[in-house]
Amino acid sequence: MDTTGGSDIRSWPTGRLLSVAARLVEQRWTAMLETLDLSHAGLIVLHTLTSGPLPQRALARRCRVTDQTMSRTLDRLQRSGFVERTTDPADGRRLLAAATPEGRDVHERAVRAERDDPLVDDDQAFRDQLIGLVEGLSAPPAALAPKSRRPLT
């Protein structure tokens, strides 16, 4: 797949390079997850459920999605046999979501696949740069405003 549009990517600004690299990594990761019958959202839910069953609303909050989005994600995971929903013994009006043995297994397989991906580099300096970039870009908008080098006339 030609992602360069025929141009020399060495001339691209850093932001464009990062954007294309991120999309390519995401596409590669999505394709790998599909081989496990998982979505990225499903993997996040399974990861969150490693600490134990949770009510859907609490699960949605922890995953930072709406209740409706969580419901759809749980429906898909349940159809795949990766989660089950049971009545909360402490509150019969509420359902708890829990990973099934199959869900715990597929979660571990996905974690292993990510760790073993040849694109994952053990270069700690590169990781530290990425972490610094993400933290810097996560700063409040006022901190991102360009500093004027000279007064406007």
Exposed, middle or buried, 78 (CB in 10 Å: 0-12/13-18/19+)? middle
Whole-number pLDDT of residue 1: 47
Per CATH, the number for 13-134 is 1.10.10.10
pLDDT digits (tens, 9 = 90+) for 88-117: 888 888 899 999 999 999 999 999 998 887
pLDDT digits (tens, 9 = 90+) for 21-41: 889 989 989 999 999 999 999
Q: How confident is the model at residue 73 (pLDDT cuts 50, 70, 90)?
A: very high
Whole-number pLDDT of residue 114: 85
Lowest-pLDDT choice from 12-16, 34-38, 116-120, 128-132: 116-120
Instruction: Map out the domains of the chain as residue ranges.
Output: 13-134
The Cα 80–Cα 37 span in angstroms is 7
The Cα 80–Cα 73 span in angstroms is 11
Whole-number pLDDT of residue 122: 66
